[in-house]
A and B are shown apart, each in its own frame.
Chain A
């Protein structure tokens, strides 16, 4: 009987497998023919319908709780609640909108796509497609990869809007005029922040997509295969989100000192 491979060798194999899949997906995505359009639209509509509510709830919760209640409590003691606008710009645009987007995309869309691919794998549909000569990466993985990346970028907008809605509610709750809040918000916002937010979402989306598609495609047989794959995909995605958030945040702030100036 073959010896069960150790944890380290499995980690190395999975990392390598994900990187290889990522390379193949990128190559298949840019090379003609672009035959994945119809699948992309179907999957995009499915994923959007499934996750928009969770996203808005999450973004609202994050801006209302951590940023709103705690931030307003802090600033309220100084009688400086109008400064909440600048604080919000920093917290929502730079951190929470991409983070919430990534958590919801990984938790709701990524798991669903992983379950879908895993189901096709255990029903041997994917092997059948291979036998028929259909390129599985181009036909199945590329559209899902693009869906998750596109959805991450789109959801960043929704997360920003829901975040500002939560902020507005906090301001109203504290009986503050909204004018100074939005003035401060706009004064603090700039293009670098927004671009940084979008690039972060792009990286999050690509990572989540590769992790979930890889886990879905590498489902092993047996009755607990698909459930385990979904479990693993969301754990790896969440840990990757945390790690990327840290490294990217530090890199962005260290290379753009303008972000730390008073605005």
Chain B
């Protein structure tokens, strides 16, 4: 009969995974910013090219749809208070500050992040990642850090495109489809209700969300164990984590950037 002291209960599985993922994310981010990335810059550019060529159209799709929805709801909502002319203000505010960051992050999670899970997971289960390690390459840098850096490289170009597509959707809905205001009336309020600082805040929000989902995708793909079935499960699980993270970042940044001061051109 054993008299050894009772073992303390192990940490719950999700907590272990959380710690593991945080460590992975921290290492990937640190490597991404370090000088050791120089030999991997070619691969980084290749990944950036793949991201733009393969995912750009899909990334912009949801922004367009939500821009259209915002235009329509803005017009009908403003009609209830008898001021449909302010739909342009809604388009400027809502798209820039909330809808496009969310739409962009959702599509980054759906298309890019689960794509990375599928891609890296397939490499892992066919032992390609182990082969990289055996050859003396830093597989985490070669596979994960390059993808994070590629996302950062293309982000300043594709995020403004997503914003533009969202604005275009609202413009089409308000001015072309419902003919609620004139083009000049729409644009007048549209430009009044945004400024470069808001654009910077919006881009920060989008960049945080995009970085989060890309790291999550790389983590779940890199750490797959088992066979094709586990790759699918990891892709599904990564979407759960992505959605939680996107909304967490969304709450924090909305409150941080616009909670204290609404930054609107009203009153004085």
Q: Do A and B bind each other?
A: yes
Q: Could you tell me the distance in whole angstroms from the C-beta of A127 to the nearest C-beta in chain B?
A: 16
- Let me know if B251 and A231 touch, CB within 8 A: no
- Let me know if B76 and A259 touch, CB within 8 A: yes
Q: A65-B98, A77-B267, A104-B243 are contacts. A115–B118 as well, Cβ < 8 Å?
A: no
- Let me know if B251 and A61 touch, CB within 8 A: yes
A19 contacts the other chain (CB 8 A): no
- Let me know if A95 and B69 touch, CB within 8 A: yes
Q: A242–B62 Cα gap in the complex (Å)? A: 6
Contact with B along A174-189 (1 / 0, CB 8 A): 0000000000000000
- Let me know if A69 and B259 touch, CB within 8 A: yes
Stretch binding the partner chain, chosen from A8-16, A116-124, A139-147: A116-124
Q: Could you tell me the distance in whole angstroms from the C-beta of A27 to the nearest C-beta in chain B?
A: 28
Q: Which residue of A lies closest to B70 (CB)?
A: A95
Q: A54-B243, A235-B110 are contacts. A224–B118 as well, Cβ < 8 Å?
A: yes
Q: A230–B235 Cα gap in the complex (Å)? A: 7
Stretch binding the partner chain, chosen from B2-10, B147-155, B226-234: B226-234
Partner among B65, B79, B235, B264 whose Cβ is within 8 Å of the Cβ of A231: B235
Count A-B contacts at CB 8 Å. Answer: 206
A229 CB contacts on chain B under 8 angstroms = 232
Apart from the given pairs A90-B77, A242-B62, 13 other A-B contacts in the complex at a CB distance below 8 Å: A57-B248, A60-B247, A65-B250, A74-B264, A90-B73, A91-B77, A225-B228, A226-B228, A227-B121, A227-B228, A230-B239, A234-B110, A246-B68
Residues of B within 8 A of A (CB): 58, 61-62, 64-66, 68-69, 72-73, 76-77, 79-82, 93-94, 97-99, 102-103, 106-107, 109-111, 114-115, 117-119, 121-122, 125-126, 177, 227-229, 231-236, 239-240, 242-244, 247-248, 250-251, 254-255, 258-259, 261-264, 266-267
Residues of A within 8 A of B (CB): 50-51, 53-54, 57-58, 60-62, 64-66, 69-70, 72-74, 76-78, 86-87, 90-91, 94-95, 103-104, 107-108, 111-112, 114-115, 118-119, 122-123, 173, 222-231, 234-235, 237-239, 241-243, 245-246, 249-250, 253, 259-263
